[in-house]
Structure formats: structure tokens, C-alpha cells
Structure 1
Amino acid sequence: MPRPPVGVGLKHVNAEFTKSKILPFVNSIYPDIQFTKFCVIREPLDHLFSWWKYRTKLAINSPMSTKKIQFADFIQRYIDFREGDNSAPAYVKVRGQSEFVLDENQKVFTDKVFTLDRIDLVERFISDRAGKNLSLDMHNRSPSAVESSKSLESKLTEKLRKFLSDDDEIYKLASISPDKVKSSFEFHR
């Protein structure tokens, strides 16, 4: 099995790695099987909040630690990073969720996109494919960013949404149906 880039792990493999490494490997073993590519995403602000919250648990001397960083400061530094600030700290270098959905040509790569708040649809999809009932345990349950986002200034939230526009649209379409992104999303940046 191809190894994902260091620090990524298999649960955070983007579309490009899946397309260039995982699918060729799997297809070499199962050439006659057509696989359905899918991913699970969070509400985009929840995604950033989850990374900020997770990184508060890291050792204070780690460059990835947000232990002493307020959420609003994390978001401001994330915006700075997305605007091209090369001196941005490592802890704000969070990939957008669109990277899990779009290929290198910004075309939808995944066949289905599920939202984390509807994990029951993922369970049903996998159970139907496996031919037996399966249950997915939820481990990484961060609180919603809704409460923390109230502390963000409206200008900061407005600026942030500019950088999250593709992720927001993907999330909204996936909330309608896991198949909606494949049929309706167009890249805007």
C-alpha cells in the first residue's frame, strides 16, 4: 500500500494522493472492480475549529501547538497564511476540505461527499456496499465552532468566508445529497 505524505495519515488523504497513488495500487489488485470514491467533510468553520482544538492538546513547544492561541488569533493567522504570508506559523497550515474532493485540475474527483453531521448516511452507504449492517464509531468529536465563532469579529468572519467559499459550497451541496457535489459543484477561485 502506498504511504501517504509524512504527517497526513490515511484518514486525511487528499484527492490527488488517492488518484495518483492509492487507486493505481488498488486497481492493480482488483482491475475489474469499479470503486466509488467518497469522503466525509465537516462544516468549514467547524473544520478549522477542530484543527485548532486538536492542536491545543499538543506540547507547548511544538510548532503545531495552539495551546496559548485564541481561536480568533488562529483564524486571523490562517487568513494571513491564505493571503500568502510565508512566515505564518505551522499551526495554521490547514488544508481546505476541497482538496479531498477536487483533483489537481479542480474537477470533482470523489463520487460522493458526505457531511460529518450525517454520519448515518455514511454507515448506510458502507453497509449497503458490504451487505451487512456496520456501525461507525465517532472518535474525533470536537464541539461545534458556533459558540467560538461568536467571538470572531464580523470583518474577520467575512474575510474568512472568502477563503472558505469553495468549501462552503461543497458542504452545502453535500448537505442536500452525497451525490450533489459531483453533479453541481464548479470551482471558483
Structure 2
Amino acid sequence: MNRPFLAIYFVAEVLTIIVLSNSFGFGRTLLLFFGASILGMFLAVLEFRHCVLALRRRPKDLNILGNIGLTAVGGFLLALPGILTTIFGLLLIFAPTRALIRMLLAQQLSDKIARFGVRSAVRADVYRRQAANNSFNPRAAAEIIPEEEIARWAENLAPEDFENPDEQNRKND
């Protein structure tokens, strides 16, 4: 996680606590925070259990896997200190808002995958053209070895030709 995000998160949480404390009082704000966190964790456990049971009935339903992941993230956010994280965690635990968030995330992921596919196809085409033109390094001239030279080299081939040069020096010493 990058530092600017943490700084913004910290400032937003402090400002939220100050605004709520001024509106409801510090004691009520703490009671609201802890009550929402405890209630949210309880609801997260229930919802997580509900999702796992649904997954056992329909093991190939990808929406249920998404629900499990988002519920787990919601539970994690509820465990973090802060009123904003508690609110975001509760939004991920309640089924209607979780379904909306899952659809938005799925659309974003689908768009990213499509863009990645297009970029990959373009890069593969560039690579294919370079391979076809033998132009990976335009400064290096391609050396073509005649077939007869390769045949002469293969006729005189010995297993010692493939040994490590250090080992050959040791044998000669």
C-alpha cells in the first residue's frame, strides 16, 4: 500500500471521528463505532456461512465465490479501526450492496482483461514480424552459415568438444 493513500485514509478517519463527535458526542461516537463493528462482524460470520453453504449446493456458481471474497474483505475492513472502514465493510457484507459492488468490479476486471488481450495481441504481432524479418537487433548483421560448413563440423564432432574448457585444461595438465 502506498503512503499517500495511508495518509489520506488516516486524515479521513480522523475527520470523520471529529465530525461525529461534534454531532453526537464522543461517547456516542465510540458506542456507534464499536456497536457497528461488533454487529458487522457477527453479520459477516453469518453471511460467510450462508455463502459457503450456497457454494456446497452450487459449486460452479462464480457469483458465490465473488460473494465469499467480498464478504471476507468486508470482515477484514470491519476489523480495522475506523468508522469509514466499518461503513465500507458493512457495505460489502449486506447482500444488495455486495451484489452491486461485485457487478462493478466484474465490469472493471472484464475491461482490464480486454485491454490486456488487445495489448498482448499487438505485442505478439510485433514479435512475429520481427521474427519473420530476423530483425530483433537491427544493428547486428545476420550471419548465415552454409550447410556444407555445418556438415563438415558435424562429421568431425567428438564428445570432448562439449566438455567444460576448465576440465580440458585439467586433463592436459
TM-score after normalising by structure 1 = 0.22
Larger C-alpha radius of gyration, 1 or 2? 2
Q: TM-score, normalised by structure 2?
A: 0.23
Relative to total residues, which structure has the larger helix share, 1 or 2? 2
**By percentage of residues, which structure has more strand?**
1
